A = this chain, B = another copy of it.
Amino acid sequence: MFRSSAFSGATHGFAPGYVQGNLAILPATLANDFLRFCQLNPKPCPLIGMSPRPGDPSIPELGADLDIRTDLPKYRVWRNGELAGEPLDIRDAWRDDLVAFVLGCSFSFEEALIEDGIELRHQACGSNVPMYRTNIPCAPSGPFRGPMVVSMRPLKPADAIRAVQITSRFPSVHGAPVHLGLPEGIGIKDIAKPDYGDAVEVKADELPVFWACGVTPQAVIAAVKPEFCITHAPGSMLISDLKNSRLAAL
């Protein structure tokens, strides 16, 4: 359906149980530095698949017949850091030197939390998860550097403990929280004013719980302003053939 451009919207709720991922496509001249950036910062940048070689649009580990140029609902093409278009496929923009990276996303661990009976405020509100720039620096690699961005979910303390247990099983989709309870400790001055997404209420009997977020590599790439780069359009993720449960470390 995505390959034929019959659908160009958000993938949330599609193919429950299957891993969805963030897409970043970079020229080969930047790919090695970005790959090392992911390896140095696995919590915000959990790499779950990449091109076998520059110019190859397949990612066999994520789907037998996957073509990264057509199989997302919508893309964003960037030139020198400026948005240059939002095509529904990128066959016209494809180049022999491009390398695609797919990074795990929070949909997978949110599914595990919900299945355990933990309610997620932003979903109950029908809004985007609130995200914040922190004062936690990512380990730099070449031109890629910047602060970790985190997503926040308010949870009662017992649910926060359970959420640490559940998400620790999923290191390839951001894993355990990086922080909880004291926003100012990671440089968040006002929890009611997220840098991305929508604010949600943190009730008096709840703690804000913070996970490393896939917006981190997006913000880091944006700061580099590569001469050319392609990402998924917000919310229009790659849906893989992998089951979320197969990402569980134990």
Residues of A whose CB lies within 8 Å of any CB of B are 156-158, 160-161, 164-165, 168, 176-182, 185, 205, 207, 250
Q: How far is the CB of A200 from chain B (nearest CB, A)?
A: 18
Whether A180 contacts B157 in the complex (CB less than 8 A), given A185-B205, A205-B185, A250-B250, comes out as: yes
Identify whether the interface residues of A are mostly helix, strand, loop, or mixed.
mixed
Q: How far is the CA of A207 from the CA of B181 in the complex (A)?
A: 7
- Which one of B165, B180, B205 contacts A207 once the chains associate, using CB atoms below 8 Å? B180
Are A177 and B161 in contact, CB atoms less than 8 angstroms apart?
A: yes
Q: Which residue of B lies closest to A177 (CB)?
A: B161
Q: Which residue of B lies closest to A186 (CB)?
A: B157
Q: How far is the CA of A165 from the CA of B168 in the complex (A)?
A: 7
- Residue with the greatest number of chain B CB neighbours at <10 A, chosen from A178, A181, A250: A181
Q: Which residue of B lies closest to A207 (CB)?
A: B181
Q: How far is the CA of A179 from the CA of B178 in the complex (A)?
A: 18
Are A161 and B176 in contact, CB atoms less than 8 angstroms apart?
A: yes
Q: How far is the CA of A156 from the CA of B184 in the complex (A)?
A: 12
Q: How far is the CB of A114 from chain B (nearest CB, A)?
A: 20
> What residues on B are CB-neighbors of A207 within 8 Å?
180-182
- Which one of B165, B177, B205 contacts A176 once the chains associate, using CB atoms below 8 Å? B165
- Residue with the greatest number of chain B CB neighbours at <10 A, chosen from A161, A177, A182: A161
> What residues on B are CB-neighbors of A181 within 8 Å?
157, 160, 180-181, 207
Are B182 and A158 in contact, CB atoms less than 8 angstroms apart?
A: no
